[in-house]
Chain A
Amino acid sequence: DAGVIQSPRHEVTEMGQEVTLRCKPISGHNSLFWYRQTMMRGLELLIYFNNNVPIDDSGMPEDRFSAKMPNASFSTLKIQPSEPRDSAVYFCASSLQGQGAVNTEAFFGQGTRLTVV
């Protein structure tokens, strides 16, 4: 398996523009997590899905952020409109959760470095 795949790896956009980050979890995994990492705040959990359903979005900073998981193999994190303070590295992770699951650790993608100017 290629692991968790995120795209793009780098994104530079102007303030006010819409930004969409993409994630393909590991095949067979049923939980997906979006994190944001900055020097000031470290790694923050934004939202996580279980079986394509959002379970906890309490970490989503504000209404400008939205996340979807239309199917088990794809998720998006959208920021609209983007602001300079949204500049960060955004990580997606997936894991297998549930009764009888052998390996439940989370596997992380390489991240998307977002710069909003």
Chain B
Amino acid sequence: DAKTTQPTSMDCAEGRAANLPCNHSTISGNEYVYWYRQIHSQGPQYIIHGLKNNETNEMASLIITEDRKSSTLILPHATLRDTAVYYCIVRARDPFSGGYNKLIFGAGTRLAVHP
């Protein structure tokens, strides 16, 4: 699976949008972009994933560039509870089983939301 690059840390004011970037310049055609987050002392939590179209759910939006070499996770109105480490993961789909390859976590971005 392709490697991802994320900033080590970011700050965001409560109520503002948090935009977390991720570079995946070596991504291939069958690889999806996944985002997870880990709040202190908890297990990682799935946020969103996409292939090439922008995606939105109740937690966040995912913007993927047209060349798919980078993406941005957007938390539209960050709260203090969004303080966590955010992981961007590129994951291939197995053409035989239809499932996804294993999740490999990098160092992630430590997002601090402050009042």
Contact = CB atoms under 8 A, between A and B. Distances in A.
Q: How large is the interface on A (under 10, 10 to 19, 20 to 34, 35 or more residues)?
A: 20 to 34
27 contacts: A4-B43, A33-B102, A42-B105, A42-B107, A43-B87, A43-B105, A45-B102, A45-B105, A48-B102, A56-B102, A91-B43, A93-B43, A93-B44, A95-B99, A97-B97, A97-B100, A98-B99, A99-B98, A101-B98, A104-B99, A105-B34, A105-B46, A105-B49, A106-B46, A106-B103, A110-B42, A111-B42
Contacts of B44: 43, 91, 93, 106, 108
B42 A45 contact: no
Chief secondary structure at chain B's binding surface: loop
Interface of B: 34, 38, 42-46, 49, 87, 97-100, 102-108
Nearest to A59: B102
A82 interface: no
B43 A109 contact: yes
Contacts of A48: 102
Given A48-B102, A101-B98, A107 B107 contact: no
B57 to A, nearest CB: 11
A43 B43 CA distance: 10
